[in-house]
A and B are shown apart, each in its own frame.
Chain A
């Protein structure tokens, strides 16, 4: 395996390689560079408003300019910089650490990256559509709705759509990483045995899978309020000003709940990878194994679980009652304790070590100290009496920057740590240390004065004269912090040529598998299949593998070369992720090790580009402008076409012949991916249904019927549709049985039946909607449309999301029918099974929606 043997992938010096590559290491590098670009983007915005704050008043940016700068700074740093930066390392390092040759679905991985890049470009474009989003990174309702956005507000819509695109990328990434880590570990590596950085990524993606699904629901609803005219986040629907006699009294708090249900896990999503990097660097540069490793891991698992039950501590002043406040106070304090343990574990890891103050270690140690300060100031916020007064002030700003940017500090350590692995060159150590010194000084000069000036309200440009000295100090600190990166970029750039060549492992006491291969590692990562069966890393040669896969039937069965094919994602269609559904299995090639894996595909780039055009078009369709409408149409067609192209492309991503797969030995890669995706889809629908219940309870559960819903909204269409869907699910099962019995005619007939019933469902729904849109009664003279009231909004949007799932299912069903007609699936019904999983899921969702929207 050498560099000249790249399986159709152009060399790294060629530009086209970077558009084609699906290799995890290349994509890791792309993530790192792109994330650093967004660091500059968000950083320059921060410097702009720090400059504004050097004295009181908005004489530089103007008030809306200032609001835009603080809002987009937050969004860019939290979404487009810190997590993707961490996932640059995750992409590069995790497969190496666990002994895999790539991620489970390489093309999906490329698709995640391109969606991420284009979502960031859309974010950038929003600055040129009048004004961009200016309502704070927390995007509180109803300030986030068009009614309160000055001008046409297209920039704000673009930001919402960019976030949806970003979320699609994250969800695909989560599915991919989970499948990889549960199906492709080196033999002998139990989950608890994988290196701590990989473990932190594992827990991060679990949190991402569920937290981002809730965010996606919030964003889809918000986008619908912007584009389709639903009224979820408007409390006054006819535009009158009122205090409490509202049309939708739950509007504001609905956003807060949805956002923080995502937002608090997001804190750990951001911080966990950093914690993983710190632990790796501490182990390597102290020459000690992580002290209390088991408890360190248990602590992380506890935090990951508990992160979903602390969100209301962001809402202590919204009028929630004392028992709930008490519970959330307890969970909040509870979640801080595991971090104490982790901090002490890192501190004691240094004991009896041989601590070497290299640049990565300096950054890791610095991050630990900053995190200690961030943690202590966080305990203040856990005392509710103090929290009330800190709410909306610089105390919160200073605290979370000490936590989040300490995470970023550790990640910069990671950049120096893995730089020699990625480039094969050593950076300049002296410049690295200078960078750390300037960085650490700038950091504290920037954020510590904020604690002293904590009485300043957040996101204002006016403050008392007495606080000016602290704000000026912070501004100076901000510029020092920013300048420190010039040293880093210079160092890392120049070292690409001038740096010393490094061998596989430049760090004494590094242990994990990425250091056992050359720097940079070859395309296929390892010289043979990695194994820890003897307790130490070994590479099994082809002969051993062949012997073992023959003698153990179980292993041979796992040796299927499945393809990454056909895991279609819509990345850009109306529902940003509903289409992720796996179906196609190219005929499996039986021999594991022999076959060449594919590493190049142009489709992920094309899908994302087309998705970007679609979303850009969608941002302006409500103006009726021909330009935006045609963008949306062209983009939509392009997305569909490129998805089809990717589905039809032959692409081999062989499964490992020998691997540790607990607890999913018997769940194939595609099936596991499908299950994971559906798990996040459950949260998506859960959030929609929860939103419906929330606004309805806020309005008055029973009053809802009398005031908001016309008598013409009857049960019958829903009941008919229930029967249609249930029957269609039954037919999918028959299609599977027919395929198993190799009856081509049966398979085709059952699939056609499924398709027909699904189409019947949609036609029935269309007739029902047409009727309701055009009723003209005394209470509803202008019909019952999406914008009539909150009941109609919830009805159309929730059942519409389900309808979109049905539509996507039907597209796949049609595709499979054609393939079955051509003789596919006979004797191998797995593809039909995966489609069936999706289809049954869509039916089950309907079984919840029908009573909620037609009966109760």
Chain B
């Protein structure tokens, strides 16, 4: 029975202790690589362009220094291509390889962001987010609703986002989580915060006169503080218990399924 209680607590607030790679880390890594390579490619190509422009600039002399190498276009000729197409192909191929391999490299990271971390260690805290003009409602599993977001440190938080009026977009820039809030449907996104503190959530889709001010606080608390806060949140006890029970049941199922391979069972 005691063991059951322990499992229950962990299932409600399972922590990953900072093991889960946060979306912000994924973003930072890709962005850094892109910035470095992008700057390098930009500098090289622009320099190469300028080199050509300056090297072949007309010195105003009477004679054409390349008269024996290239033919100059004539008035009234039918348009044709100039010589030197092979170089175009080489340069194009190099640039294509860079672009395609960069994007292909990010694709595996995209899969991680799309699917989220392995559920075994990280059962997510599910919070519904409803955007409205001009603020946000955060609805916790026990039915409690707030206008600023409270989440525990080191826990995966999964957001189900929608809107009750126009098209919004919910994003917490420092935590690198963002998704559209579309009326009539839900979109989902996840994040995890490894540091406690206060962050800002913003609206990223023009939604009317209050759009610029449609921001709210996101508070990341230490685990125990969060638990205290969560325990005293408003709402009837029944709602709290009811939703805890269902959450526990499904989350325990998931844990068992996920643990199965480790225990020698068939992969779920």
A300 to B19 alpha-carbon distance, docked (Å): 48
Given A289-B79, A318-B180, CB of A376 within 8 Å of CB of B41: yes
Instruction: Flag if A356 contacts B78 (CB, 8 Å).
Output: no
The interface bits of chain B over 200-212 (1 if a CB of A lies within 8 angstroms of the residue's CB, else 0) are 0011111111111
A698 to B183 alpha-carbon distance, docked (Å): 12
Instruction: Flag if A392 contacts B169 (CB, 8 Å).
Output: yes
How many chain B residues have a CB neighbour from A under 8 Å?
89
What chain B residues lie within 8 Å of A344 (beta carbons)?
A: 87-88, 91-92, 95
Decide yes or no whether A368 CB sits under 8 A from chain B.
yes
Instruction: Flag if A291 contacts B209 (CB, 8 Å).
Output: no
A322 to B108 alpha-carbon distance, docked (Å): 12
Q: Which residue of chain A has the shortest Cβ distance to B95 in the bound complex?
A: A340
Given A333-B99, A393-B204, CB of A516 within 8 Å of CB of B182: no
A357 to B60 alpha-carbon distance, docked (Å): 11
The interface bits of chain A over 389-409 (1 if a CB of B lies within 8 angstroms of the residue's CB, else 0) are 101110000000000000000
Instruction: Flag if A376 contacts B38 (CB, 8 Å).
Output: yes
Instruction: Flag if A386 contacts B106 (CB, 8 Å).
Output: yes
Q: Which residue of chain B has the shortest Cβ distance to A294 in the bound complex?
A: B81
Given A292-B88, A352-B66, A383-B102, CB of A516 within 8 Å of CB of B75: yes
Decide yes or no whether B268 CB sits under 8 A from chain A.
no
Instruction: Flag if B58 contacts A354 (CB, 8 Å).
Output: yes
A516 to B83 alpha-carbon distance, docked (Å): 25
Given A140-B206, A290-B82, CB of A353 within 8 Å of CB of B56: yes
The bracket for how many chain A residues form the interface is 35 or more
A495: shortest Cβ distance to chain B, in Å?
23
Q: Which residue of chain A has the shortest Cβ distance to B202 in the bound complex?
A: A457
Decide yes or no whether B239 CB sits under 8 A from chain A.
no
Q: Which of A140, A188, A292 contacts B85 (CB 8 A)?
A: A292
Decide yes or no whether A510 CB sits under 8 A from chain B.
yes
Given A251-B184, A365-B49, CB of A348 within 8 Å of CB of B84: yes
Q: Which of B76, B176, B184 contacts A536 (CB 8 A)?
A: B76
Given A241-B132, A347-B52, A457-B202, CB of A511 within 8 Å of CB of B182: no
What chain B residues lie within 8 Å of A388 (beta carbons)?
A: 113, 176, 178-179
Instruction: Flag if A385 contacts B78 (CB, 8 Å).
Output: no
Instruction: Flag if A351 contacts B169 (CB, 8 Å).
Output: no
Given A244-B162, A457-B204, CB of A317 within 8 Å of CB of B167: no
What chain A residues lie within 8 Å of B107 (beta carbons)?
A: 326, 329
A340 to B89 alpha-carbon distance, docked (Å): 10
Decide yes or no whether A235 CB sits under 8 A from chain B.
yes
A241 to B79 alpha-carbon distance, docked (Å): 62
9-residue interface stretch from B7-15, B26-34, B149-157, B228-236: B26-34
Decide yes or no whether B77 CB sits under 8 A from chain A.
yes
Q: Which of B99, B102, B166, B210 contacts A142 (CB 8 A)?
A: B166
- Among A67, A235, A243, the one with the most B-chain Cβ atoms within 10 Å of its Cβ is A243
What chain B residues lie within 8 Å of A194 (beta carbons)?
A: 79
Given A357-B57, A460-B211, A516-B75, CB of A253 within 8 Å of CB of B182: yes
Given A382-B103, A386-B31, CB of A193 within 8 Å of CB of B56: no
What chain A residues lie within 8 Å of B166 (beta carbons)?
A: 140, 142-143, 148, 252
Instruction: Flag if A383 contacts B106 (CB, 8 Å).
Output: yes
What chain A residues lie within 8 Å of B75 (beta carbons)?
A: 505, 510-511, 515-516, 537
A248 to B204 alpha-carbon distance, docked (Å): 23
Find residues 534-565 in chain A having any chain B CB closer than 8 Å to their own CB: 535-538
Q: Which of A195, A196, A341, A385 contacts B110 (CB 8 A)?
A: A385
A121 to B161 alpha-carbon distance, docked (Å): 41
Instruction: Flag if B85 contacts A295 (CB, 8 Å).
Output: yes
Given A143-B208, A196-B79, A392-B205, CB of A385 within 8 Å of CB of B183: no
Decide yes or no whether B262 CB sits under 8 A from chain A.
no
Decide yes or no whether B242 CB sits under 8 A from chain A.
no
Decide yes or no whether A489 CB sits under 8 A from chain B.
no
Given A287-B72, A344-B88, CB of A350 within 8 Å of CB of B99: no
Instruction: Flag if A333 contacts B52 (CB, 8 Å).
Output: no
Decide yes or no whether A714 CB sits under 8 A from chain B.
no
A380 to B39 alpha-carbon distance, docked (Å): 12
Given A148-B208, A344-B91, CB of A385 within 8 Å of CB of B109: yes
Q: Which residue of chain B has the shortest Cβ distance to A393 in the bound complex?
A: B204
A779 to B130 alpha-carbon distance, docked (Å): 31
Decide yes or no whether A288 CB sits under 8 A from chain B.
yes
What chain B residues lie within 8 Å of A288 (beta carbons)?
A: 70, 72-73, 82
Decide yes or no whether A708 CB sits under 8 A from chain B.
no
A530: shortest Cβ distance to chain B, in Å?
9
Decide yes or no whether B226 CB sits under 8 A from chain A.
no
What chain B residues lie within 8 Å of A480 (beta carbons)?
A: none
What chain A residues lie within 8 Å of B165 (beta carbons)?
A: 142, 148, 241
Find residues 176-228 in chain B having any chain A CB closer than 8 Å to their own CB: 176, 178-180, 182-188, 202-213, 215
What chain A residues lie within 8 Å of B164 (beta carbons)?
A: 241-243
Decide yes or no whether B261 CB sits under 8 A from chain A.
no
A512 to B45 alpha-carbon distance, docked (Å): 30
Instruction: Flag if B70 contacts A67 (CB, 8 Å).
Output: no
Given A287-B72, A353-B56, CB of A383 within 8 Å of CB of B30: yes
What chain B residues lie within 8 Å of A329 (beta carbons)?
A: 103, 107
Q: Which of A58, A286, A460 contacts B56 (CB 8 A)?
A: A286
Decide yes or no whether A461 CB sits under 8 A from chain B.
yes
A515 to B75 alpha-carbon distance, docked (Å): 8
Decide yes or no whether B46 CB sits under 8 A from chain A.
yes
Decide yes or no whether A150 CB sits under 8 A from chain B.
yes
Decide yes or no whether B96 CB sits under 8 A from chain A.
yes
Instruction: Flag if B81 contacts A351 (CB, 8 Å).
Output: no
A373 to B80 alpha-carbon distance, docked (Å): 29
Instruction: Flag if A386 contacts B73 (CB, 8 Å).
Output: no
A99: shortest Cβ distance to chain B, in Å?
11
What chain B residues lie within 8 Å of A12 (beta carbons)?
A: none
Instruction: Flag if B106 contacts A235 (CB, 8 Å).
Output: no
Decide yes or no whether A742 CB sits under 8 A from chain B.
no
Q: Which of A143, A295, A356, A512 contacts B79 (CB 8 A)?
A: A512
Q: Which residue of chain A has the shortest Cβ distance to B33 in the bound complex?
A: A383
What chain B residues lie within 8 Å of A296 (beta carbons)?
A: 81
Instruction: Flag if A347 contacts B49 (CB, 8 Å).
Output: yes
A203: shortest Cβ distance to chain B, in Å?
15
Decide yes or no whether A64 CB sits under 8 A from chain B.
yes
Q: Which residue of chain A has the shortest Cβ distance to B77 in the bound complex?
A: A511
Find residues 125-143 in chain A having any chain B CB closer than 8 Å to their own CB: 134-136, 140-143
A831: shortest Cβ distance to chain B, in Å?
37
Decide yes or no whether A37 CB sits under 8 A from chain B.
no
The interface bits of chain A over 304-333 (1 if a CB of B lies within 8 angstroms of the residue's CB, else 0) are 000000000000011100100110010001
Decide yes or no whether A355 CB sits under 8 A from chain B.
yes
Decide yes or no whether A442 CB sits under 8 A from chain B.
no
Q: Which residue of chain A has the shortest Cβ distance to B61 in the bound complex?
A: A354
B96: shortest Cβ distance to chain A, in Å?
5
Instruction: Flag if A513 contacts B76 (CB, 8 Å).
Output: yes
**Complex A-B: 28 CB contacts under 8 Å:** A71-B206, A134-B209, A135-B206, A148-B208, A196-B79, A235-B184, A244-B162, A252-B182, A291-B83, A294-B81, A318-B180, A319-B187, A341-B88, A348-B52, A350-B56, A356-B58, A357-B53, A369-B49, A383-B102, A383-B110, A384-B110, A392-B169, A455-B173, A461-B212, A511-B75, A515-B75, A532-B78, A537-B77
Given A63-B211, A511-B73, 20 additional A-B pairs, CB 8 A: A142-B183, A195-B79, A244-B162, A246-B184, A248-B184, A249-B184, A293-B82, A294-B81, A295-B88, A319-B187, A322-B111, A325-B114, A340-B99, A352-B56, A353-B70, A376-B41, A377-B38, A379-B103, A389-B171, A536-B77
Instruction: Give the 5 A-B residue pairs with the shortest CB-CB distance, closest first.
Output: A392-B204, A293-B81, A537-B76, A289-B82, A249-B184
Chain A interface (Cβ < 8 Å from any Cβ of B) = 58, 63-64, 66-67, 71, 134-136, 140-143, 148, 150, 188-189, 193-196, 235-236, 241-244, 246, 248-253, 256, 283, 286-296, 317-319, 322, 325-326, 329, 333, 336-337, 340-341, 343-345, 347-357, 365, 368-369, 372-373, 376-377, 379-380, 382-386, 388-389, 391-393, 455, 457-462, 505, 509-513, 515-516, 532, 535-538, 698
